Amino acid sequence: MGRIVSNVTVVNALDEKMVIRCDALVDTGASYLTLPLAWKDRLGNFENEAEIECQTATQELVKGIVAGPVQISIEGFRSIFNEVLFLSMHPQDGAYEPLIGYIILEQCGAAVDMLGHRLVPVKYMDLK
């Protein structure tokens, strides 16, 4: 399967000068927008912050920090307000790989086009 990468902008809702712009991998197995813990200071202080336990794709349990509120904008889709998950990550080839999880995709109205390897707009929001 191909990789889907999209441009994301994250703004601290309490301090709009604190912004991160990056490319992030679409990962429907992840729930949150996940950023490296090393970038946390770039978004400043948060109103809400909590440590949570997460399970990785390899079944490893790791601790992360959920913080917010933040405004999240995936290029080409509507902006939303949510939280971001910061995890201790190791850069590969000198670069981190942020993840866009399914909660963020659903809220932004984005769906994965598996054949075209891209994000596409959801025609209708699900109320079932």
5-121: CATH architecture? Beta Barrel (2.40)
Confidence category of residue 1, pLDDT binned at 50, 70, 90: low
Give yes or no for a cis peptide into 69 (omega within 30° of 0): yes
d(CA 22, CA 74): 10
Q: What is the mean pLDDT of the chain?
A: 95
Using one digit for the tens of pLDDT, what is the confidence trace for 60-107? 999 999 999 999 999 999 999 999 999 999 998 889 999 999 999 999
Tokens 């769906």 locate to 111
**pLDDT at residue 45 in the model:** 96
- Rounded alpha-carbon distances, angstroms, from residue 52 to 19, 61, 122: 23, 10, 30
Using one digit for the tens of pLDDT, what is the confidence trace for 105-124? 999 999 999 999 999 999 98
Average pLDDT over residues 36-59: 96
